[in-house]
């Protein structure tokens, strides 16, 4: 949190110096971005794994807890743009950076004051403490690892694999620099973890489950994140946004998702808790397959809404609103459940690292989303995907119906095998 606050303050300083010393402003700007990246890398995986540690092993309330945790995240996502965005647009954007930095400092202070009271295990012990050095805690007991985890030969091997992946993605697949960085880092990090010689068979099986579901999650987010790209174009160009003579800005549609999460997350938490008490709560893979199905269903609705509509006509905002709400329901079946699953399946010593790899799948999905958004048939252009011709919005939306629908079906069919590999964890 402190590192991210420093990053925001550096961005504030960069914006302040921009008119007087552009060279120094650029240096401070990139330093601020680097601090935000590093700070978020420390913050996001660790804060997510701490939620699981609030409950005893096997507690059925964990998925519900992550749904509430997810609601809190989106509560911040809803209010932060209102504060920082208003300051930035109405006064000067540098004050938005300053407000974000001050907010992070306040968050860290509140966390430090209250963590020992509220962030404790079921036994009342603080969570997120420093782990015992070089001690492998398994279901069978504790084992001294010695130097087996990070042998020079193993590190050298995976540095070579990482370099090879760079060459393949950059010069064979012809990805850009950012895509190459994302995909190479994700695959190399995943390979490094799964080849850890200290893993037991049960631990390795559970990590493989994380990887398999992370693969399916890529298809979810690559379709879901069209909200920030192609769907914003659709809202701007082909959606009737007039309400009683007032035209709603296209960007307002992106507020539907966090608002829907705030209202629906408690409902989903109640549903999971209620089903858990009756011992009929579906396992994590089934929930996530349902999330993919709802994503496909949302795109199917909007595909019907635009079917037969020409390139200049505008459709009712009902179609876009309905799709966003259904997608939010799918997100609540997949994203917080995924966080919960990773936290429960990960060996304690690898919890934050595996959570980071889980988030790397989101990064790959966002990159893939950008590639798919280029298929948007804007201004009557015709695009192709695996031989399929996309001539209009109906064709474009059906791509996501098929992609998410097939992924949902495959994950559902694999769910029984995945449950076996989870070794008792739902």
Contact at 8 Å (CB) between 63 and 340?
A: yes
Contact at 8 Å (CB) between 239 and 317?
A: yes
C-alpha–C-alpha distance, residues 343 and 355, integer Å: 7
pLDDT in tens, 304-330: 988 877 666 788 889 999 999 999 999
pLDDT in tens, 177-202: 989 999 999 999 999 999 998 899 99
Beta strands in 47-152 (DSSP E): 135-138, 141-144
Mean pLDDT of all residues in 108-132: 77
Rounded to 5°, the CA angle 35-41-46 comes to 135
Q: What percent of the chain has pLDDT over 70?
A: 93
In this model, does residue 380 exceed pLDDT 50? yes
Contact at 8 Å (CB) between 291 and 181?
A: no
pLDDT in tens, 42-63: 888 888 778 878 888 777 788 8
Contact at 8 Å (CB) between 409 and 266?
A: no
pLDDT in tens, 326-374: 999 999 999 899 988 998 899 888 888 898 899 899 999 999 999 899 8
Rounded to 5°, the CA angle 317-323-324 comes to 90
Q: Is 136 helix (H, G, I), strand (E, B) or coil?
A: strand
pTM of the model: 0.82
DSSP one-letter string for 134-193: TEEEETTEEEE-TT-TT-HHHHHHHHHHHHHHHHIIIIIS---HHHHHHHHHHHHHHHHH
Residue 144: band (very low, low, confident or very high) from pLDDT cuts 50, 70, 90: very low
In this model, does residue 165 exceed pLDDT 60? yes
C-alpha–C-alpha distance, residues 127 and 369, integer Å: 36
Which among 402, 377, 371, 403 is positioned nearest to 389, based on CA atoms?
377
Q: Which residues of 411-422 are buried (b: 16+ CB within 10 A; e: fewer)?
A: bbebbeebbebb
Sign of CA pseudo-dihedral 231, 233, 239, 240: positive
Look at residue 34 in the predicted model and tell me its pLDDT. Answer: 92
In this model, does residue 150 exceed pLDDT 80? no
In this model, does residue 130 exceed pLDDT 70? no
Query: Higher model confidence: residue 387 or residue 134?
Result: 387
In this model, does residue 40 exceed pLDDT 90? no
Please report which helix (H) or strand (E) contains residue 413, including its range: helix 393-421
Look at residue 142 in the predicted model and tell me its pLDDT. Answer: 46
Residues 6+ apart with CB under 8 A from 43: 1, 4
Least confident range of 26-35, 55-64, 223-232: 55-64
Q: Is 123 helix (H, G, I), strand (E, B) or coil?
A: coil
In this model, does residue 137 exceed pLDDT 60? no
pLDDT in tens, 254-282: 778 888 998 998 999 899 989 988 889 89
Helix ranges restricted to H, 229-350: 230-237, 256-277, 284-306, 317-345
Exposed, middle or buried by CB within 10 Å (0-12, 13-18, 19+), for 341?
A: buried
pLDDT in tens, 280-301: 989 999 999 999 999 999 999 9
Look at residue 126 in the predicted model and tell me its pLDDT. Answer: 76
Look at residue 391 in the predicted model and tell me its pLDDT. Answer: 86
Main-chain phi, psi angles of 315, to 5 degrees: -105, 165
């Amino acid at each position: 949190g402190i590192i991210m606050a420093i990053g925001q303050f550096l961005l504030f300083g960069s914006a302040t110096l921009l008119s007087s010393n552009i060279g120094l402003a650029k240096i401070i700007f990139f330093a601020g971005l680097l601090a935000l990246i590093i700070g978020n890398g420390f913050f996001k995986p660790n804060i997510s794994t701490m939620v699981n540690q609030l409950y005893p092993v096997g507690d059925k309330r964990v998925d519900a807890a992550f749904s509430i945790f997810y609601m809190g995240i989106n509560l911040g996502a809803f209010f932060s743009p209102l504060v920082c965005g208003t300051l930035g647009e109405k006064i000067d954007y540098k004050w938005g950076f300053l407000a974000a930095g001050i907010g992070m400092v306040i968050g860290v202070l509140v966390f430090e004051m209250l963590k020992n009271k509220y962030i404790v295990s079921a036994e009342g012990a603080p969570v997120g403490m420093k782990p015992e050095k070089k001690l492998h805690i398994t279901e069978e007991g504790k084992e001294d690892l010695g130097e087996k985890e990070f042998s020079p030969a193993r590190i050298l091997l995976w540095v070579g694999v990482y370099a090879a992946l760079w060459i393949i993605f950059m010069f064979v697949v012809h990805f850009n620099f950012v895509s190459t960085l994302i995909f190479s880092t994700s695959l190399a990090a995943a390979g490094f973890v799964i080849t850890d010689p200290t893993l037991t068979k049960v631990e390795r099986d559970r990590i493989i489950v994380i990887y398999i579901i992370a693969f399916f999650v890529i298809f979810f987010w690559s379709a879901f994140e069209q909200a920030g790209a192609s769907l914003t174009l659709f809202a701007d160009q082909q959606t009737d946004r007039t309400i009683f003579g007032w035209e709603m800005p296209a960007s307002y549609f992106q507020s539907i998702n966090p608002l829907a999460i705030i209202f629906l997350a408690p409902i989903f938490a109640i549903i999971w808790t209620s089903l858990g008490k009756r011992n009929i709560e579906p396992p994590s893979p089934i929930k996530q397959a349902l999330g993919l199905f709802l994503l496909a269903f949302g795109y199917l609705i909007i595909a019907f809404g635009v079917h037969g509509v020409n390139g200049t006509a505008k459709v009712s905002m009902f179609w876009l609103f309905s799709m966003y709400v259904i997608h939010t329901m799918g997100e609540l079946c997949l994203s917080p459940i995924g966080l919960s699953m990773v936290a429960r399946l990960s060996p304690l010593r690898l919890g934050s690292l595996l959570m980071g790899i889980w988030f790397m799948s989101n990064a790959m999905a966002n990159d893939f989303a950008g590639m798919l958004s280029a298929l948007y048939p804007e201004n009557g252009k015709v695009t192709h995907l695996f031989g399929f011709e996309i001539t209009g919005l109906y064709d474009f939306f059906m791509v996501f119906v098929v992609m998410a629908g097939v992924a949902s079906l495959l994950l559902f069919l694999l769910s029984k095998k995945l449950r076996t590999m989870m070794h008792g964890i739902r």
